[in-house]
Structure 1
Amino acid sequence: MIVAGAGVQGAAHLARAQGCQDAFKAVDLGDTAVLAVSDGAGSRHRSALGAHVAVDAACRLLARDIPGAEEPPEAWTAWIAGCGKTVVEEYLRAVTGALAADASDPGEPGDLAATLTAAVVAPPWVAFVSLGDGFGTLLTRDDRCHLVLPPPEGPPAFLSSPGAALRIRTFVVWEPELSGVVLSTDGCAPLALDHPAVRELPLRAGPLPAEGFFLGLAATLRDNEGDAEPLRRLLCAQEAGDRTGDDLTVLCALVEGG
Structure 2
Amino acid sequence: MIVAGAAVQGSAHLARGQGCQDAFKAVGLDGAAVLAVADGAGGRERSALGAHIAVDTACRVLAEGVPRAEDGPQVWTGWIAAAGARVVEDYLRAVGGVLAAAPAAGAPVDAGALASTLAAAVLRPPWVAFLSVGDCFGTVLTRGPAAAGAGPGTGVRERCHLVLPPPVPGAPDTVFLSSPGAALRLRSFALWEPELSGVVLATDGCAPLTLDHPSVRELPPEAGPLPSERFFCGLAATLRANGGDAEPLHALLSGPGTARTGDDLTVLCALTDGG
- Give the letter aligned to residue 217 of structure 2: R
Q: Does 1:202 align with 2:217?
A: no
- Structure 2 match to 1:80: 80
Displacement after TM superposition at 1:104 (Å): 3.6
- Structure 2 match to 1:249: 266
- Give the letter aligned to residue 207 of structure 1: P
Partner of 2:248, secondary structure, is: helix
C-alpha offsets along residues 150-206 of structure 1, whole Å, 9 cap, x if unaligned?
A: 002322100000000111000000000011100000000000000111111111100
Structure 1: runs of 5+ lacking an equivalent: none
- Structure 1 match to 2:147: none
Partner of 2:3, secondary structure, is: strand
- Greater Cα radius of gyration, structure 1 or 2: 2
Displacement after TM superposition at 1:146 (Å): 0.4
1:103-122, aligned counterparts within 5 Å?
Answer: 103-105=103-105, 106-122=108-124
Distance 1:42 1:257 in 2: 39
Displacement after TM superposition at 1:28 (Å): 1.0
1:114-193, aligned counterparts within 5 Å?
Answer: 114-142=116-144, 143-153=158-168, 154=171, 155-193=173-211
- Give the letter aligned to residue 63 of structure 1: A
Displacement after TM superposition at 1:103 (Å): 2.3
- Structure 1 match to 2:242: 224
C-alpha offsets along residues 90-140 of structure 1, whole Å, 9 cap, x if unaligned?
A: 000000000001124541100000000000000000000101101100111
Partner of 1:110, secondary structure, is: helix
Identity of aligned residues (%): 70
Distance 1:45 1:199 in 2: 41
Distance 2:39 2:103 in 1: 26
Distance 1:123 1:206 in 2: 27
- Give the letter aligned to residue 229 of structure 2: E
- Give the letter aligned to residue 262 of structure 2: G
Displacement after TM superposition at 1:75 (Å): 0.6
- Structure 2 match to 1:39: 39
**Alignment RMSD, CA only?**
0.9
Runs of 4+ in 1 over 4 A off after TM superposition: none
Displacement after TM superposition at 1:19 (Å): 0.4
Distance 1:223 1:200 in 2: 32
C-alpha offsets along residues 39-98 of structure 1, whole Å, 9 cap, x if unaligned?
A: 000010100000000000000000000111111100111100000100000000000000
Distance 1:173 1:5 in 2: 22
| TM-score, normalised via structure 1 length | 0.98
- Give the letter aligned to residue 133 of structure 1: D
Q: Does 1:213 align with 2:218?
A: no
Displacement after TM superposition at 1:31 (Å): 1.4
Partner of 1:115, secondary structure, is: strand
- Give the letter aligned to residue 45 of structure 2: H
| TM-score, normalised via structure 2 length | 0.92
Displacement after TM superposition at 1:30 (Å): 3.7
Contact 2:103 2:109 in 1 (8 A): no
Distance 1:72 1:220 in 2: 33
Partner of 1:70, secondary structure, is: coil
C-alpha offsets along residues 191-236 of structure 1, whole Å, 9 cap, x if unaligned?
A: 0000111111111100000000001100110011001011001101
Corresponding pairs, count: 257
- Structure 2 match to 1:95: 95
Distance 2:102 2:82 in 1: 31
